[in-house]
Amino acid sequence: MTIAHESPPVQPCPAVSAGLVHQGKVLMVRRRNPPNADRLAMPGGRVASGESLYAAAVRELREETGVVAEPTRVLTAIDELLYDEAGGLLHHYVIVVVVCRWISGMGVADDDASEIHWLDGVGVRDEPTICANARKIAARLLEEGGSAM
């Protein structure tokens, strides 16, 4: 007799993205790992247990790019749902986008990032490898001028 084992249901995972505009350009990284491997997105990742959203955004930004910044506000939150070929839910990330104010550094790819890109509005609009959600958020950040208010 074979006993079927059901996988536990996928639980939402809290994550952050750091939204940073400096000198009229938004900071993007090419992700090494899923979700969105080989695509441009804002620096970010999972929130560690006991870590605030702001602390996680600043940490992920520093780990992936070397850029030092201070968090100013939450811009939005989005769901990133990943499915297998059969339509089964693999991952559910709840990503909180934290706007950050640049302090220092121009960016060097590290950790989960394979490349750094500073994109202006044309680059955000025309770059074909930007994740759909990241494109919308980057455009919004540039429209607002990356304002900390």
Task: Note the pLDDT tens digit of each residue in 71-100.
Answer: 999 999 999 998 999 999 999 999 999 999
In whole angstroms, give the CA distance from residue 76 to residue 21: 16
pLDDT given for residue 5 in this prediction: 56
pLDDT in tens, 51-79: 999 999 999 999 999 999 999 999 999 99
**Cα torsion through 65, 69, 73, 79, rounded to 10:** 10
Amino acid in position 99: V
pLDDT in tens, 17-34: 999 999 999 999 999 887
Which region, left, alpha or beta, applies to residue 120 given φ > 0 means left and ψ of -120 to 50 means alpha? beta
Q: How far apart are the first and last CA of the chain?
A: 63
Provide the 10 A C-beta neighbour count for residue 124: 23
In whole angstroms, give the CA distance from residue 135 to residue 107: 20
pLDDT band at residue 105 using 50, 70 and 90 as cut-offs:
very high
Question: Which residues make Cβ contacts (< 8 Å) with residue 105, sequence separation at least 6?
Answer: 65, 66, 67, 68
Dihedral sign, Cα of residue 36, residue 46, residue 68, residue 63: negative
Q: Does domain 13-144 have CATH number 3.90.79.10?
A: yes
pLDDT in tens, 9-20: 899 999 999 999
